[in-house]
């Protein structure tokens, strides 16, 4: 394997892992089942399709416009790393200590809110993909997003089977581990942002 291919593969694994942890598709499964309990099988499948598609579009919009918004507002990448790291840390701590609360079951066949945003594409995903463009590049992040959203669609479209396979406790454990990793990711972003700010 050439150094270029090896470097690209390593960047992809890094990006894929970060986005996978930020989305936490397995952890969303029990929430999804609760939110769609009033829907038929066909409506639930339509909800998955629409929600994942909308979530992917939102992530892509922020991916390609985030850096331009920074420039217009006079925000440096290091500033956003610090702010984004704090947001990711708070989101992860909230999920780690409490978990999503007060969500009402959806009654239609869309479920864009809260399924697409903020459950699938939330502050953690948005911050992660925007920051990764400056380190691994757009192509790698786009490919990792596609792979992760395909996985999210797979998990949610077979949510009941996933839940039955690993059980309620299993989904909670996976969700908490992902939240813990997200905490670490947030702290790493804050640390990197502060170091880059000091070096300016």
Mean pLDDT by 10 residues, the chain (200 residues): 87 94 88 83 90 95 87 84 83 74 54 80 86 91 97 94 85 82 85 87
In 3D space, the residue among 68, 159, 161, 78 whose CA is nearest the CA of residue 119 turns out to be 159
What radius of gyration, in Å, describes the C-alpha atoms of the chain? 17
The domain containing residue 25 runs over which residues?
Answer: 3-199
Q: What is the pLDDT of residue 159?
A: 92
Show Cβ contacts of residue 65 under 8 Å, excluding neighbours closer than 6 positions: none
Please tell me the total count of domains within the chain.
1
Q: What is the pLDDT of residue 77?
A: 77
Give me the count of residues in the chain: 200
C-alpha dihedral, 185 to 137 to 194 to 97, nearest 10°: -20
Residue 113 token pair: 């809110």
Q: What is the pLDDT of residue 89?
A: 85
- The CA-based angle 167-172-175, given to 5 degrees, is 125
Residue 49 has a CB neighbour count (10 Å cut-off) of: 15
Q: What is the pLDDT of residue 66?
A: 84
Cα 155 from Cα 148, distance rounded (Å): 10
Largest CA distance in the chain: 56
């Amino acid at each position: 394997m050439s150094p270029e291919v090896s470097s690209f593969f390593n960047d992809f694994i890094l990006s894929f892992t970060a986005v996978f942890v930020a989305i936490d598709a397995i952890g969303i499964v029990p929430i999804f089942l609760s939110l769609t309990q009033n829907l038929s099988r066909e409506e639930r499948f339509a909800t998955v399709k629409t929600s994942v598609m909308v979530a992917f579009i939102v992530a892509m919009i922020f991916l390609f416009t985030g850096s331009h918004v920074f420039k217009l507002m006079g925000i440096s990448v290091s500033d956003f790393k610090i702010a984004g790291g704090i947001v990711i840390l708070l989101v992860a701590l909230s999920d780690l200590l409490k978990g999503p609360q007060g969500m009402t079951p959806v009654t239609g066949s869309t479920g864009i809110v809260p399924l697409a945003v903020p459950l699938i594409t939330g502050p953690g995903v948005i911050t992660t993909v925007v920051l990764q463009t400056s380190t691994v590049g757009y192509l790698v992040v786009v490919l990792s997003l596609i792979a992760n959203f395909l996985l999210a669609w797979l998990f949610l479209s077979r949510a009941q089977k996933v839940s039955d396979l690993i059980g309620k406790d299993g989904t909670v454990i996976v969700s908490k581990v992902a939240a813990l990793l997200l905490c670490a990711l947030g702290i790493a972003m804050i640390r990197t942002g502060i170091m880059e700010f000091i070096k300016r």
